[in-house]
Amino acid sequence: MKKLHTIVATTLLGFSMTACATGDTSKAAGGGAEAAISAAKASNKAAKSVGYEWRDTGKMIKKAEKLAKEGKTEEAIKLAKKAEMQGKAAQMQATSQKNAGPRF
């Protein structure tokens, strides 16, 4: 019975997370493309400070800024959020591979 409760709870949690992830991107927390772009810049700056800035993240931020100027807010937010996630992933990579090296 406990196993069934665990499965049901996990399934419901998965559905609720999916519902949150597919929300409307035009109303980003903080008010639009500018907030999303500044969050992406901050995330990328933090990744750069630990020496793990990914190659395309800066390009994505510039493209998001261009899209925002053209009035394509939803596309700009989507791209900025992707760049922000890349910055966070780069930071996680830096900590997880801190002691990486050859093993003989």
Kindly report whether the global pTM for this prediction surpasses the value 0.75.
no
Q: Please list, in sequence order, all residues whose beta carbon lies within 8 angstroms of the beta carbon of residue 30, skipping any fewer than 6 positions away.
A: 36, 39
Task: State the pLDDT at residue 46.
Answer: 96
d(CA 42, CA 11): 34
Q: To which residue do tokens 């196993």 refer?
A: 3
pLDDT tens for residues 72-94? 999 999 999 999 999 999 999 99
* Planar angle of CA 63, 29, 85, nearest 5 degrees: 50
pLDDT tens for residues 20-63? 554 544 444 446 999 999 999 999 999 999 999 999 999 999 99
Give residue limits of the domains in the chain: 28-96
Closest to 48 (Cα-Cα) out of 88, 100, 97: 88
Task: State the pLDDT at residue 6.
Answer: 61
Q: To which residue do tokens 């510039």 refer?
A: 62
